[in-house]
Copies of this chain bind each other. A is one copy, B any other.
Amino acid sequence: MATIAPRSGTAFLLKKGQRLKVIDPKGEQVADLVAYNADDTGEVISSGRSLDYASKLFLTTGDPIYSNRSNVMLRIAEDTVGRHDFLLTPCSKDTFRIIYGDEHPHQGCFGNLAEALAPFGICPDQIPVAFNCFMNVVIDPSGGLKVEPPLSKAGDHIVFEAEMDLFIGLTACSALQSNNYSFKPIDFEIFSRS
């Protein structure tokens, strides 16, 4: 088990068939996840393909996460929460400037992912809409979006199985709204299906 400190991020290889368990150890904490084909990092998770093929916004156990080339990269193997976001990009300096009006903005998940993914040859422009584990975006009937506290409680988790060798970027999200105004860590574990 590894821990991602509050407002930070990491990146690692997840091999085909391995499982990644993302755990919210304290509750109400979002983790942004991105994934790239380890053999060709031009292939990346795609919200647009995944939501289109699933014909729904909220992916959960059994649902595949497709790439921009329409290949399945990950499949959700287990999910104790059932509410995640796949609409919004990782928070960034610009998010904090535009949405929060910060004068000296934190680099956010975007900056944390960019740093963590650089050693794998992935540049900032390649960071897509993330699969935001535990993020609770509520949509009103007119299409208004509101970021509400995650539904995850301490110990809740989501497990992904890799369907190809992947470079994964993963954060403990840095945005106040997403985490009920308290920055907490994220735990994760890699294991092989027994």
Contact A125 B69 (CB under 8 A): yes
- Does more than half of chain A's interface fall in helix, strand or loop, or is it mixed? loop
Is A111 engaged at the interface, CB distance under 8 Å to the other chain? Answer: no
Known A87-B48, A89-B48, A89-B52: A57·B125 in contact at CB below 8 Å: no
Is A99 engaged at the interface, CB distance under 8 Å to the other chain? Answer: yes
* A182 and B89 alpha carbons, distance in the complex (Å): 34
- Mask of A100-144 contacts with B, CB within 8 angstroms, 1/0: 000000000000000000000001010111100000000100111
Contact A129 B48 (CB under 8 A): yes
Contact A42 B145 (CB under 8 A): no
Interface of chain A residues 24 through 53 with chain B (CB within 8 A): 42-44, 46-49, 51-53
Give the number of copies in the complex: 2
Contact A58 B143 (CB under 8 A): yes
Is A1 engaged at the interface, CB distance under 8 Å to the other chain? Answer: no
Q: Which residue of B lies closest to A47 (CB)?
A: B129
Is A92 engaged at the interface, CB distance under 8 Å to the other chain? Answer: yes
* A49 and B95 alpha carbons, distance in the complex (Å): 8
Contact A89 B49 (CB under 8 A): yes
Q: How far is the CB of A12 from chain B (nearest CB, A)?
A: 23
Is A98 engaged at the interface, CB distance under 8 Å to the other chain? Answer: yes
**Would you list the 8 A-B pairs with minimal beta carbon distance, nearest first?**
A48-B89, A70-B94, A57-B143, A48-B129, A58-B143, A42-B125, A52-B88, A55-B145
* A105 and B162 alpha carbons, distance in the complex (Å): 28
Chain B residues near A49 (CB, 8 Å)? Answer: 89, 94
User: When the two chains form the complex, which single residue of B52, B69, B88, B125 contacts A48, counting CB atoms closer than 8 Å?
Assistant: B88
Is A3 engaged at the interface, CB distance under 8 Å to the other chain? Answer: no
